[in-house]
Structure 1
Amino acid sequence: MSEAVPSSTGYWKKNQQRLAPWLFLAPGMAMFVIYVLFPIIESIWISFHDWDGLGDKVWIGLGNYVELMGDNSFYTSLKNNVLWLVLYLLSIPAGLAVALFLNQTVTGIRLYKSLFFFPFVISQVVVGLIFTWFYAPDFGLFSKLIENLTGQQIAILADERFVTYGIIVAGLWPQTAYCMILYLTGLNNINPEQVEAARMDGAKGIKLLWYVVLPQLAPATFIAMVVTVIGSLRSFDLVSIMTSGGPYGSSQVLSYFMYEQALSEYGFRMGYGAAIAVVLFLIMMIFITLFIVRMLMQERNS
């Protein structure tokens, strides 16, 4: 008499192909829930409370958001983040231009690739220190150059008019290198037959780039766009290293403003900091959603 096959074994054999992908996805999904989804929900919950991080939470509803709408520092940080977002996007065409240059077969191209790749591998803290010295009024190269051209020195990081632009330039250096890497990878995967066919039809220069090369680089452009937007909106480290939000809070961004309110000497206002974090998260989600919708529409049209 043969033994009966356990029901669990029979169920697995019948549904193995359907269940196997979920078993492979389970660890990643668990990490996403624990380290991404849960903190987002917890931050939203904390934003409705007055909390110092140690004592009891006091429910205040939308009180933190109402206070935020009347805080001048919030609008300064928001304005600077918009400025970061607009100017940071320059790293995408700059990265494409560098990638097109480095995609050539010329003598010493590996050395050039190493030099352009270097900003990507060094820490943002190091980048901030380098540009702080670069802008230094007494001995900085940029300051000396401006002095030779105009006859006077400009303290970039101490001037409210220029400080945010100076930090953004520092951020563009490694971000351009990152976009360059994405586009170099995309250029290596371009179909050479399409390029040759376009050249036989008389396409060259800008037309070849616009109608043949760029459409094939759309995945790299999408990744570069999303990463650049996220990087511009969470630009904390450079601001912290180069100016600490100064002078007089003029270079603050939302991420640094959040840190300043929640974790610094301002009183450990965790609820208020969480409200700033929620606003920053919503701004990121709006931009990323727009990019995804646009990409899906382009794929459907093509």
Structure 2
Amino acid sequence: MSDTARSAGFWKRNQLKIAPWAFLAPGAIMFLLYVLIPIVQSVWISFHDWDGLGDKVWIGLGNYVELLDDDTFYVALKNNLIWLALYLLAIPMGLATALFLNQTVWGIRLYKSLFFFPFVISQVVVGLMFTWFYAPDFGLFSQLIKWLTGTEIAVLADERFVTLGIIVAGLWPQTAYCMILYLTGLNNLNPEQIEAARMDNARGWRLLWHVILPQLAPATFIAMVVTVIGALRSFDLVSIMTAGGPYGSSQVLSYFMYEQALSEYGYRMGYGAAIAVVLFLIMMVFITLFIVRMIAQERNR
């Protein structure tokens, strides 16, 4: 038997086993090169004192010990937790918006376009828009507060309100993103289940909770993961709107990492990598908890 015939016979016998791996291989290689290997490299760099150009100096857990004594780290960590708690509001707001837009009424396409608009514009543009919105001299929000209370509030210059102001800016496009996910899910609902529930007198909240939301579980999972990641990175809006100010009060871990590793504070790649590792671990904890909960719910059905 020739080598060609032998190869053809091997392929026919193992085609169903080999074909899936052949399709997965390109994506798996990209994931390995651009996700897994950089994560391992970041962890390795976090154990060194390195300026990004010279030789690495092994210091073990030195960067992490210094991080635990850094007051800015705790401010950034607290702000990230606030971001996470409030950013999750984008999920129910996106669901409510999707339910509203999933109607067959006159002008619904126009409404969808208006709600979709925040998703397609850059975060930089969102940051600039809200910076002007909060501006004490001419900002619409400041003028409204002045008209209601008689006093002006400089949101982005006030340590009490600056983080909340940036979060509100981030919630605008994030809600639009969750809305799109839920609109896609609503278009794929099983109409037979909904009709059967209505025949059993399921209406309003009961229909939503027991019939619609379970079918939207995949959309909810994606929305949760993306929202958690967006809340914990939250770099672009902080950079555009306050650069961590005033006096570091709006600092978050992602911007703190950038300052330490790539800004005028002195190219401390090892210290920045340690911050990145902490941020990654926090992100994985929240995502893992949600995955475990979702798997448990699926098993109980």
1:244 aligned counterpart, secondary structure: coil
Could you say if the C-alpha distance between residues 3 and 129 of structure 1 is closer, same or farther in structure 2, counting changes exceeding 3 Å? closer
Distance in 2 (CA, whole Å) between partners of 1:6 and 1:297 is: 49
Could you say if the C-alpha distance between residues 237 and 193 of structure 1 is closer, same or farther in structure 2, counting changes exceeding 3 Å? same
Q: TM-score scaled by structure 2? A: 0.98
1:15 aligned counterpart, secondary structure: helix
Q: Alpha-carbon deviations, 1:154-213, whole Å to 9, x = none? A: 000000000000000000000000000000011111111221222222111111111111
Q: Alpha-carbon deviations, 1:103-144, whole Å to 9, x = none? A: 011100000000000000000000000000000000000000
- Determine the structure 2 residue equivalent to 1:132: 131
Q: TM-score scaled by structure 1? A: 0.98
Cα RMSD after superposing both structures: 1.1
- Determine the structure 2 residue equivalent to 1:262: 261
2:148 aligned counterpart, secondary structure: helix
Distance in 2 (CA, whole Å) between partners of 1:5 and 1:183 is: 51
- State the 1:5 CA deviation: 4.8
1:193-204 aligned within 5 A: 193-204=192-203
- Determine the structure 1 residue equivalent to 2:93: 94
Which structure 1 residue ranges, 5 or more long, are not aligned? none
1:143-292 aligned within 5 A: 143-292=142-291
Distance in 2 (CA, whole Å) between partners of 1:248 and 1:4 is: 73
Could you say if the C-alpha distance between residues 152 and 27 of structure 1 is closer, same or farther in structure 2, counting changes exceeding 3 Å? same
- State the 1:4 CA deviation: 5.9
1:100-139 aligned within 5 A: 100-139=99-138
Distance in 2 (CA, whole Å) between partners of 1:272 and 1:9 is: 55
Q: Alpha-carbon deviations, 1:201-249, whole Å to 9, x = none? A: 2111111111111111111111101110011001000000000000000
- Determine the structure 1 residue equivalent to 2:12: 13
Which structure 2 residue ranges, 5 or more long, are not aligned? none
Distance in 1 (CA, whole Å) between partners of 2:114 and 2:128 is: 19
- Determine the structure 2 residue equivalent to 1:53: 52
Could you say if the C-alpha distance between residues 207 and 55 of structure 1 is closer, same or farther in structure 2, counting changes exceeding 3 Å? same
